[in-house]
Amino acid sequence: SYVYDANPMRFARFGVNVWGLDMNWDDPSVTAREAIRCTVDYFHSIGMPTTTTEMLGRETTEEVMQELAVKCTYFGARTVGNMKVLGEKEILEVYRNAR
């Protein structure tokens, strides 16, 4: 959900095409957020974790999340993502949101 605001229409179309949602043409971000909710609900329905706490069975510490963000960027040497480019700071925020 961290990157949906970079292209809400793309997420909204995903919701329409995959989940059969009705497009909110006045505000596609409403459809986009609903698509994300449907996806998370589906993952839960098949027993798939959607947070780091669910995945690890414990909360991830700030120190571990910072280490993961640094390693993900090869110590600041690269970014990740195409729809929305993420550097170390943004990746850390993704990890924080995924608790």
Tokens of 76: 């600041």
Q: How far apart are CA 96 and CA 59, in angstroms?
A: 10
Three-class SS state of 48: coil
**Both tokens of residue 13?**
């179309």
% of the chain residues with pLDDT over 70 = 100
Q: Where are the domains of the chain?
A: 4-45, 52-97
pLDDT for 38 equals 99
Average predicted confidence (pLDDT) for the chain: 96
**pLDDT above 90 coverage of the chain, percent:** 98
Give the tens place of pLDDT for each residue, 33-43: 999 999 999 99
Question: What is the distance, to the nearest Å, from the Cα of residue 73 to the centroid of all Cα atoms in its chain?
Answer: 17
pLDDT of residue 94: 96
Residue type, 91: I
pTM: 0.86
Checking if the pLDDT of 23 tops 90, the result is: yes
- What's the confidence (pLDDT) of residue 1? 83
